[in-house]
Structure 1
Amino acid sequence: MTSIDKIVTIPEFYRGKNVFVTGGSGFIGKVLIEKLLRSCPDIGNIYILLRTKKNVSPKTRILTLTNTILFDSVKVLHPENIDKLKYVEGDIRSINLGISQDDLEMLRSKIDIIIHVAATITFTADLTDAALINIRGTRDICLLAMSMERIPILMHVSTCYCHHDNHCIEEKMYAPYGDWRKIIEIAETMDRHTLNVITCKMKGIKHSTYTFTKALAEQTVQDLCVGTIPTIILRPAIVTGIYEDHIPGYCEGYSGQIGYLIGILSGIMKCANVPAGSNRETVPVDLISKGIINSIWMKGTGQSDEEVSIYNGTGCNLIEFNLHEVNKAFFNVFKKTRTELNWYPKCTIFDSYIFYYMYFSIFQLIPSIIGDCFIYLKKKKPHLVQLQRTLFGFTNLLDYFVKNSWVIRNANFLNSIVDAPIHNDDFIVKTPNINVNIEEKLLLDHVHYILVHYLNKKLTDKPTNLIKLWILWVVWCMLELSVLVFGVYLVYSIFN
């Protein structure tokens, strides 16, 4: 390993280096790119793989990407760095990434670091799409890396849950679940109907095509790159919004706990089915971006000399965002929320299917049916029941991961973001103050961001009126009690 006193700083390491990123338009990709442009001001160019989407060209998409609140700090601190963001037209689902020969030659001659984030994360994707994107796309990234004029560092972003069949998920490679070459061949040649049958059989091994193909993608990296080029695999857990970087609470999309919070704050979600002992592994997105940047630096400076360095990206033992603890923290958070609330955003958690289904039907489905009737009378398109159907399907889809728990080891990951000899505080995550309630801090930051940027609310100078909050809480409790009493009376009347 390199002597500590000879290690260059992270900004110095990235100085002049050109980076190729797939999945740069996604949540993790955007936060990562912004961090590189802001905290490594002398970095070379960052090339993003982009495709034409909904008739919007890659050039327009990259302008849209940078014209967001996330990149405002870069524009203030290092405005010239925005021009370092380039696009390479292509598609991760196409053979050879859909990149033209000229662009391939340009990448081979210029790139020093490849960060492969792109994937389909759809749990219900059929095997064809999941295999072509997650496995073949990874294969083509590996082949591109191996053809570079300069030996690049390859960072492959995976997921902790691709090894969910192990109760304890360690920072190591696991035995292959199948032949990734054969799966690619099947996806390229077999008709989709037959593949759907195979998908049902495959679920006996893995819970979904997502976890199955991501596991095989790791094996692809192992077989093609390990021992040939410096290789890193980082496995994020459930990714939440920013914890402490320049926009605390910043989030995108509707997945995971972000979706739960949006549902609760908007009033369309009143309950969840989560076992009492459930403890989901989560990680703020800025920890993942720092983990990617720092682990590449560690690999490039000789601090990590394994053939393949593996990091399980979770907040365990540092920052945790537990759904049950979050639910307990709601009232204290709403006392500090700087906006006017017209209802109490309460979510009741059940560990019983029967009570969850009953509560869901009474407090979510029936009000949505009534609401759609009023919407229809106004000659507008009803949408509330469809929204509840989507929400119900989404929660059922995640049922396996909600009902099961894993021990995920993350010593390597914590070392990369907390204990590594980093010369710049901008790249480390400080151990939280024991006097600070992390759930409340994370939740308040997320709530404020969601209220403003998802629900178009305005924040005020003062927190929520405490008396009004108590009244809203009492009104909701009385409504719940009234429904319960009516239900008991109805059952009593039927059987008497």
Structure 2
Amino acid sequence: MSHNGTLDEHYQTVSEFYDGKSVFITGATGFLGKAYVEKLAYSCPGIVSIYILIRNKKGSNTEERMRKYLDQPIFSRIKYEHPEYFKKIIPISGDITAPKLGLCDEERNILINEVSIVIHSAASVKLNDHLKFTLNTNVGGTMKVLELVKEMKNLAMFVYVSTAYSNTSQRILEEKLYPQSLNLSEIQKFAEEHYILGKDDDEMIKFIGNHPNTYAYTKALAENLVAEEHGEIPTIIIRPSIITASAEEPVRGFVDSWSGATAMAAFTLKGWNYIMYSTGEENIDLIPLDYVVNLTLVAIAKNKPTKEVTVYHVTTSDLNPISIRRIFIKLSEFASKNPTSNAAPFAATTLLTKQKPLIKLVTFLMQTTPAFLADLWMKTQRKEAKFVKQHNLVVRSRDQLEFFTSQSWLLRCERARVLSAGLSDSDRAVFRCDPSTIDWDQYLPIYFEGINKHLFKNKL
């Protein structure tokens, strides 16, 4: 940009940056990974190849898996507008937890010789999975990717996708690294012993310290591993907050993940949950899927390489906060306006409180008892009992989110604002990444409709 705010003649568009380049993406079958693949293929027509790491499955060959993969709704605009772009999406058989990523020599050599950008988004995202498993995937997998990256001959950028909640002991989180003790052999030894001996969770909680769960702990470890092991490779870390449905693209309201806030919004719309551990005044940091994708691709294109790792937050609490109470109000409004959406007729009665005895009482009366009675009825009809199992899932999901619904963080995202401000008007339209532009009153109904359409399979 020139000083008068106009673009200079040397301005390179985001799309032009990817011309002639090949990208390797891990986690490409996940919610975020698919969106990376789609956006690169659709909005960067000059890209040469998008290599995606896909695990082999028994009884399903790679060709069949790719057909099913590309037939998903998220790829619909490519399918109807530019089906020829699908040829650029190339599967690579492997496994993030296997030695050398499970790659055969031929495919490994292709990646080493052709790839110039790596986006590592594969992760175990279960919040409270055993430390042994999350460590193996989130830290061990990252180490294996780094080993491959160091062999690549034309690498221009390595991207590690983390989480904005990797260091929640701080109330104000900056776009910087937070040092962790990184004695991996000691951590692995503890995780293995804890798993084999079945030690209680109190010891695990003490071991991971101020981190709320094993997911956040291992993501923090992986960040520090990346910082220590990236060497001379230009590297950035992307920290999104709670990723929700897309705002606009590639499909409005697209969501196919039942994790986090989406699960609780869905359970509330279904009438399966009536109470939350929160005052309602806490801010919850949500970020639409397409903002995460766009910020990542813009950061890759516009980041000035340095020897240090650059951290980018993709968050809203800094520039555009929203309270938990406001979300539940919008849930209630959506339920009343869309009676065919399976929404609970009294979603507005969802109670927000920090009184645990009250939470137990309401849960027992409004959720546990009806679920138990419903299963009794199912058994008398010789049908499968399912409601208690469903209820247990809801309560477990709600309890896992308690840490995040009961307190607020300020997640700084100045770099997102700077990146967006430096774009041309056309780039800013194609790669929207400024979180201050999100209109919550417009977005939340899109989000809830997406839950109905893509998770509940309802058409409003």
Asked if Structure 1 and Structure 2 have the same fold, meaning a TM-score greater than 0.5 normalized by the shorter chain, the answer is yes
C-alpha contact (below 8 Å) 2:245/2:288 kept by paired residues: yes
The match for 1:218 among 197, 220, 223 is: 223
TM-score normalised by L of structure 1: 0.84
C-alpha contact (below 8 Å) 1:135/1:184 kept by paired residues: no
- The farther-off stretch of 366-375 and 329-338 is 329-338
User: 1:334: how far off?
Assistant: 4.0
Q: Does 1:59 align with 2:55?
A: no
The match for 1:420 is 422
TM-score normalised by L of structure 2: 0.90
Write the deviation string for residues 142-193 of structure 1: whole angstroms up to 9, x where unpaired.
1111111113310000011111111211101112233235435766x75732
Letter in 1 for 2:381: K
User: 1:431: how far off?
Assistant: 7.2
Superposition map of 1:1-400 within 5 A: 5-53=9-57, 55-180=59-184, 182-184=186-188, 192-194=195-197, 196=199, 199-226=204-231, 228-299=232-303, 302=304, 305=306, 307-334=308-335, 336-337=337-338, 339=340, 343-346=344-347, 347-400=350-403
Write the deviation string for residues 426-485 of structure 1: whole angstroms up to 9, x where unpaired.
01246777xx9x3332221122222233323332xxxxxxxxxxxxxxxxxxxxxxxxxx
Distance in 2 of aligned mates of 1:110 and 1:208: 38
Distance in 1 of aligned mates of 2:193 and 2:11: 51
**1:183 and 1:5, CA in 2 relative to 1: closer, same or farther beyond 3 A?**
farther
Q: Percent same amino acid among aligned pairs?
A: 26
Q: Does 1:408 align with 2:411?
A: yes
**1:211 and 1:454, CA in 2 relative to 1: closer, same or farther beyond 3 A?**
closer
User: 1:83: how far off?
Assistant: 1.4
C-alpha contact (below 8 Å) 1:28/1:289 kept by paired residues: yes
**1:411 and 1:44, CA in 2 relative to 1: closer, same or farther beyond 3 A?**
same
Letter in 1 for 2:167: H
User: 1:341: how far off?
Assistant: 6.1
C-alpha contact (below 8 Å) 1:283/1:320 kept by paired residues: no
Distance in 2 of aligned mates of 1:34 and 1:397: 31
Distance in 2 of aligned mates of 1:205 and 1:273: 20
User: 1:108: how far off?
Assistant: 0.2
- What count of residue pairs does the alignment treat as equivalent? 450
Write the deviation string for residues 360-405 of structure 1: whole angstroms up to 9, x where unpaired.
1111111111111111112111111111112111211222222232
**1:57 and 1:315, CA in 2 relative to 1: closer, same or farther beyond 3 A?**
farther
Distance in 2 of aligned mates of 1:8 and 1:163: 35
SS in structure 1 at match of 2:56: coil
Distance in 1 of aligned mates of 2:73 and 2:250: 10
Distance in 1 of aligned mates of 2:327 and 2:205: 36
C-alpha contact (below 8 Å) 1:126/1:199 kept by paired residues: no
Write the deviation string for residues 173-231 of structure 1: whole angstroms up to 9, x where unpaired.
112233235435766x75732585763441334332211111110111101115x1110
C-alpha contact (below 8 Å) 2:256/2:454 kept by paired residues: no
SS in structure 1 at match of 2:166: helix
User: 1:20: how far off?
Assistant: 0.4
Q: Which runs of 5+ in 2 are unaligned?
A: none
User: 1:68: how far off?
Assistant: 1.5
**1:280 and 1:66, CA in 2 relative to 1: closer, same or farther beyond 3 A?**
same
Distance in 2 of aligned mates of 1:392 and 1:444: 25
Distance in 2 of aligned mates of 1:220 and 1:203: 16
**1:431 and 1:307, CA in 2 relative to 1: closer, same or farther beyond 3 A?**
closer
Letter in 2 for 1:453: H
SS in structure 1 at match of 2:165: helix
User: 1:312: how far off?
Assistant: 1.3
C-alpha contact (below 8 Å) 2:174/2:412 kept by paired residues: yes
User: 1:420: how far off?
Assistant: 2.5
C-alpha contact (below 8 Å) 1:364/1:388 kept by paired residues: yes
Q: Which runs of 5+ in 1 are unaligned?
A: 460-496
**1:413 and 1:56, CA in 2 relative to 1: closer, same or farther beyond 3 A?**
farther
